[in-house]
């Protein structure tokens, strides 16, 4: 780790991890950032839609709060939503102070609108390259300030130290190392790429959640996976997210016959919450047997489209399509992990010394369905709160248990195999989740997924334990997939990003967070 032991170790180099590192340095702390890829690779850089904050005329934190609560399908923790809405303008000021080049017109920041927002409050940088511009700016600041960054450091396990603190075991290009710090901040991102069809980069496989669960952390709401309605879909072509902001500018969805269908599903049509739009498309595809629907932006002026969405326009030109003239083939795909490691409003988990923020965490902010463009802001607001807690030296509060709560245990060695066949590979896991724990969930498929994943995770867990956690292991990916599947089987209702055919409506008895703990022994 160099000559000086860090005051805090941050695992992850997206917006949440880099923000915590920069603010910690400003507060006189010595942070170290670990990233399993390179400093330039994270989910943040692919965020096209923008970042939400009530900074425009006619807007207010209260309106932003109300929109967040409404989108969350009855499960939003109001204090978390209020914290984000109230503090978002301050965090935008931080980004501007560090040099993020937000788009302007006539000297004023331009604001867009996305689904389920009642006001224009989405800030952009470089049109549809917002995540990339933020990430590049924060990376440059990290380098300029000389913050220690260790690339290609794969997190293997988390544990306590003999004294108060957290031990982190990582695999680097030089071999395995154990790092110790008083504080560990987990900012490892989501799990979207566990699914066969995904908008996420290959690094988004959710092992941070599994490793935290194995260390004893409470996990929450893993059944709520948000599927993005409009991801470019063509056989043989790369998957590419077509920002919700395109619909915010006036694009509509059409079926293979050219008919617009969203008005049949929701009064706000294409600007309905993401879960509604994704399910509507899924139902249309199931009815028609097609593999994609089409996004029609041809009614929007060409100059406005191309200036607002240069990245999307460039990608489509590479596919022989013109955003302003052609119908764009799209389908819903796994996009965002709503649940994660349970935290309080200061980012504390149920494991002393372990904090979490960003997509890997579950603050209760998103409820059952994330409001568009709240994700980048979540990393900033709760990252700031972590730094504030560390600076203030507040007494550790942790996270209370939830009710209901599911316990996950490996299958004992002497239990006969539940299913036959080879252990799932990463690709096999992706197909299983997509086919059996996807947008529309059926009870028999959920039972099959849980049985298969429980068996395979149990075998992988024993093998990795006997090999000294010779990871980054398939056991971590299988455990994350199992937590998603087990949560989906346990929640006997439909709410937000979780839809079951046998319980197609929300149920009052399930208006609660679903906790989950992993018990490896005892």
In this prediction, residue 492 has a pLDDT band, given cuts at 50, 70 and 90, of very high
Equal fold, 228-333 vs 406-518: no
Q: Is 517 in contact with 408 (CB distance < 8 Å)?
A: yes
Q: Which helix (H) or strand (E) holds 104?
A: strand 104-105
Distance CA 159, CA 166 (A): 6
Task: Give the CA count within 13 Å in the CB-facing half-sphere of 119.
Answer: 20
Question: What per-residue confidence (pLDDT) applies to 93?
Answer: 97
Distance CA 259, CA 521 (A): 56
DSSP string, 294-309: EEE-TTS-HHHHHHH-
- Domain 406-518 coded CATH 1.20.58.100: yes
Question: What per-residue confidence (pLDDT) applies to 470?
Answer: 44
Distance CA 382, CA 347 (A): 6
Q: Count, in order, helices (H) and strands (E) of the chain.
A: 13, 23
Question: What per-residue confidence (pLDDT) applies to 371?
Answer: 92
Evaluate the CA torsion angle 49, 53, 58, 63 in order and state its sign. positive
- Catalogue the active-site residues: 274
pLDDT mean over 323-329: 97
pLDDT in tens, 344-403: 999 999 999 999 999 999 999 999 999 989 999 999 999 999 999 999 877 888 898 888
Residue 22 backbone phi and psi in degrees, to 5: -70, -45
Domain at 228-333: CATH code: 3.90.700.10
pLDDT in tens, 265-319: 999 999 888 899 999 999 999 999 999 999 999 999 999 998 889 999 999 999 9
In this prediction, residue 469 has a pLDDT band, given cuts at 50, 70 and 90, of very low
Residue 497 has pLDDT above 90, yes or no: yes
pLDDT in tens, 45-82: 655 668 999 999 999 999 999 999 999 999 999 999 99
Average pLDDT score, the chain: 91
For the chain, the domains span 8-221+336-392, 228-333, 406-518
Residue 205 has pLDDT above 50, yes or no: yes
CATH topology for 8-221+336-392?
FAD/NAD(P)-binding domain (3.50.50)
Question: What per-residue confidence (pLDDT) applies to 472?
Answer: 46
Distance CA 198, CA 46 (A): 12
């Amino acid at each position: 780790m160099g000559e000086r032991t860090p005051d805090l170790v941050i695992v992850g180099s997206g917006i949440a991890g880099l923000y915590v590192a920069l603010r910690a340095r400003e507060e006189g702390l010595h942070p170290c950032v670990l990233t399993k890829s390179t400093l330039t690779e994270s989910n943040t850089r692919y965020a096209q839609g923008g970042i939400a904050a009530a900074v425009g005329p006619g807007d207010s934190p209260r309106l932003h709060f109300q929109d967040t609560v409404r989108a969350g399908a009855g499960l939003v923790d109001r204090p978390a939503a209020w914290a984000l809405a109230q503090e978002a303008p301050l965090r935008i000021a931080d980004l501007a102070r560090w040099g993020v080049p937000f788009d302007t017109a006539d000297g004023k920041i331009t604001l867009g609108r996305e689904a389920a927002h009642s006001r224009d409050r989405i800030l952009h940088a470089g049109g549809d390259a917002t995540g990339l511009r933020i990430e590049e700016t924060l990376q440059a600041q990290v380098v300029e300030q000389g913050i220690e960054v260790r690339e290609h450091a794969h997190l293997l396990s988390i544990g306590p130290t003999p004294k108060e603190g957290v031990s982190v075991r990582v695999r680097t290009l030089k071999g395995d190392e154990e790092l110790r710090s008083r504080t560990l901040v987990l900012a490892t991102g989501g799990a979207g790429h566990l699914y066969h069809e995904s908008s996420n980069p290959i690094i988004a496989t959710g092992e941070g959640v599994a490793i935290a669960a194995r260390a004893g952390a409470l996990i929450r709401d893993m059944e709520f996976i948000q599927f993005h309605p409009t991801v470019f879909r063509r056989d043989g072509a790369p998957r590419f997210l077509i920002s919700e902001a395109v619909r915010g500018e006036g694009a509509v969805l059409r079926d293979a016959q050219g008919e617009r269908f969203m008005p049949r599903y929701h009064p706000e049509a294409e600007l309905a919450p993401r879960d509604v739009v994704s399910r509507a498309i899924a139902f249309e595809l199931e009815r028609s047997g097609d593999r994609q629907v089409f996004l029609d932006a041809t009614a929007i002026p060409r100059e406005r489209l191309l200036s607002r969405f240069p990245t999307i326009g460039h990608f489509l030109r590479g596919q022989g399509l013109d955003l302003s003239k052609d119908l764009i083939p799209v389908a819903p795909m796994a996009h965002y992990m709503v649940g994660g490691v349970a935290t309080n409003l200061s980012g504390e988990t149920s494991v002393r010394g372990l904090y979490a923020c960003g997509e890997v965490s579950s603050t209760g902010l998103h409820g059952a369905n994330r409001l568009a463009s709240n994700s980048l802001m979540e990393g900033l607001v709760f990252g700031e709160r972590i730094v504030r807690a560390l600076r203030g030296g507040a007494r550790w509060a942790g996270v209370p248990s939830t009710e209901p709560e599911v316990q996950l245990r490996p299958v004992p060695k002497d239990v006969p195999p539940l299913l036959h066949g080879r252990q799932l590979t990463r690709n096999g896991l992706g197909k299983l989740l997509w086919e059996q724990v996807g947008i529309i969930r059926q009870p028999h498929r959920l039972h099959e997924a849980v049985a298969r994943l429980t068996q395979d995770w149990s075998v992988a867990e024993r093998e990795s334990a006997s090999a000294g956690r010779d990871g980054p292991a398939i056991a971590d990916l299988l455990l994350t997939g199992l937590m998603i599947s087990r949560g989906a089987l346990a929640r006997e209702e439909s709410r937000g990003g979780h839809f079951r055919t046998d319980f197609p409506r929300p149920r009052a008895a399930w208006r609660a967070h679903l906790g989950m703990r992993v018990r490896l022994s005892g």
